[in-house]
Amino acid sequence: MGACARSWFTSLWSQGCSAECGKGNKTRTAVCLMDHVTDLPLDSCEGERPAEETSCDSGPCRNRIEWYTGPWGQCSAECGNGTQTRNLVCMINNNGHMEVVDKSKCLSLPQPMTAQTCSLKPCGVQWYVTEWSACSGSCNGGYRVREVRCLADNIAPSDHCDPNLTPESREECNKQPNSVPVNCPSCSDQYNNCVVVVQARLCVYTYYRSVCCASCSLAHVLRKVQSKHRAGGRGSRGV
């Protein structure tokens, strides 16, 4: 039947130019078809592949306000998740002459991102810690604690962290004596639920007596006053 026709087919050029002003591009798609139906590999058609991009000009740019971004900076973490930032400036384009203007002039335009996450390589297993707890004593020494865990990249518990690099999970705090009032904080409550601590009679424990110092001290004074009143009442009745 003879050789089948293999021809280049192109779509129509895109109607809009890629640039709203100045020079830009228009695009189209080129395909190689046989019998106007079958899509063949691009090297099956004879002749040069038709261009799929052409230049266009939307006219001079006059007083056009645009956001311009700088290159992304270095990742903040050498391994694992970090962040990287870039500079953002508002510029006015007047027929090729660029000038930096106040950012407020670009507020009506969509603002490009100035920060994004980045990851250079996995960290492997490493130690993780929580924040330190409140000190167990406001003066004359105390201690604070935190949780320490060895985790892998998928945040799964691991036993492969270097034991010699284990962070401290407990340390002393508020070592200054009561005789130095300038450096010693006043007796105060460190928690919002100290009323419950008093009601549950937990002030007998050093930790709760420290973190609920004001409430426990007040409760102690009230108990002494009540004890004196009860003792005085019994003495009057005896007389």
User: Do residue 49 and residue 11 come from a single domain?
Assistant: yes
pLDDT of residue 73: 94
pLDDT value at residue 201: 87
Asked if 18 and 25 count as a contact pair (C-beta separation under 8 A), the reply is yes
Q: Is 227 left (phi over 0), alpha (psi -120 to 50) or beta?
A: alpha
Domain that holds residue 75: 64-119
Look at residue 48 in the predicted model and tell me its pLDDT.
86
Q: Are 214 and 189 in contact (CB under 8 A)?
A: yes
pLDDT value of position 179: 44
- The predicted pLDDT at position 171 comes to 87
**Low pLDDT (below 70) residues in the chain:** 1-5, 35-43, 136-141, 175-186, 224-226, 228-239
Residue where a domain stops, chosen among 183, 204, 227: 183
Tokens of 161: 């962290």
- Kindly list the distances between the CA atom of residue 178 and the CA atoms of 184, 209, 224, in Å, as whole numbers in the listed order: 6, 16, 23
pLDDT score for 190: 79
Residue 161, pLDDT score: 92
What CATH number does the domain containing 15 carry? 2.20.100
Helix, strand, coil percent content, the chain, rounded in steps of 5: 20, 30, 50
- pTM for the structure as a whole: 0.44
First to last CA, the chain: 137
Q: Which residues pair with 173 in a beta bridge?
A: 142
With respect to residue 68, please indicate whether it lies within any of the assigned structural domains: yes
Give domain status of residue 51, yes or no: yes
